[in-house]
Amino acid sequence: MAIIRDLDNVPAGWRSAATLGAYDGVHRGHQALVTRTVEAARERDLLAVVLTFTPHPDRVVRRDEGGPLLTTTEEKVELLAALGADQIVVARFDAKLAATEAQTFVRDVLVKVLGARHLVVGPTFTFGRRGAGNPQRLRQWAPILGIEVEVMPAVMVGGRAVTSSLIRKALRAGDVDTAHQMLGRPYSLTGVVERGLGRGRDLGYPTANVIADRDRLIPADGVYAVEAEVEHTRFQGVASIGSRPTFADAGWALEAHLPGLEANLHGRPLTLHFWAWLRGQMAFGSGDALAAQIGSDIRQAQHLMATLQGSPHVVK
């Protein structure tokens, strides 16, 4: 598997089965598209190619920040690479590409550059200037351009089609269970650990203060059961997101307590996998009361995660 940065670096002569999209989060719908693309490529003796974009197209088309994302570009590429494609092309999405007419994009990019002979897309896929391209138009153009078009059905969870927008909405509400089901894995967030005020240590529960990428979506304020990953080793614990109302001067933070982890994490990357919502933020009358609640949170988290990780529907 190879990763190619930008369309200008794609070598000539490809013959491919291809799929394309922003793929924020690489959720179960995206996974189905890529898996089918790999299958179609093997059936036709073609390269399996995934085309994705950076920055997210919404940030160019909507001319604003576009909101926080489920994955960084590098995280997205890592997740796509695990699905078995031969080539992943990360194209720069800019105003010029956004203004390209849909049929021109198919002819000049998908067919001429990627050598597409077979395209796999979802039922609501749009592309090209003002989103004028769609599966129906692709099928109309297919005979002219010499390609096959395969439209995959939506992946459904709880009676709803899986989309990145729905996952973002769930996370903003603290609903990490719905996000988990739609992603096919717990939602995860990676950041660098910075030194905090030390209050957790004073309470007997030292915490890691995590500074996440500013482009990443952080779940709603609250306390969560998490699994933390440090250099390929995992630890169960709890994460608190919010203003820490017990202490008036504490301010907002994302912090995790991970029983059994004794290493100094300052300056090191840490990934949090969100398994379950435990409770909202609460103000306590004393440090002792807060410490007692943290102990209760940890026991509840360990019980929940033992149940969830043993469930047959969980995709790890």
Q: Which run of H or of E encompasses 306?
A: helix 287-309
Residue 181 burial (C-beta neighbours within 10 Å; 0-12, 13-18, 19+): buried
Residue 316, domain member (yes or no): no
The pLDDT of residue 249 is: 60
3 state SS of 202: helix
Q: Report phi then psi at 29, rounded to 5.
A: -65, -45
185 and 287 part of one domain: yes
Domain extent, residue 175, equals: 163-309
In the beta sheet, which residues pair with residue 127? 133
Question: Is the four-CA dihedral 212, 29, 53, 130 of positive or negative sign?
Answer: negative
Residue 42, domain member (yes or no): yes
Q: Give the length of the chain.
A: 316
7 and 151 part of one domain: yes
Domain boundary among 155, 182, 217: 155
Amino acid making up residue 218: I
195 and 289 part of one domain: yes
The pLDDT of residue 237 is: 92
184 and 132 part of one domain: no
Spell out the per-residue pLDDT of the chain, length 316, in tens: 899 999 999 999 999 999 999 999 999 999 999 999 999 999 999 999 999 999 999 888 876 555 799 999 999 999 999 999 999 999 999 999 999 999 999 999 999 999 999 999 999 999 999 899 999 999 999 999 999 999 999 999 999 999 999 999 999 999 999 999 999 999 999 999 987 665 656 566 778 899 998 899 999 999 999 999 988 888 899 999 988 766 666 678 899 998 877 677 888 999 999 999 999 988 787 878 888 888 899 999 988 988 887 654 444 3
144 and 178 part of one domain: no
Domain boundary among 155, 188, 210: 155
221 and 281 part of one domain: yes
End-to-end CA distance of the chain: 23
The pLDDT of residue 31 is: 98
The pLDDT of residue 141 is: 95
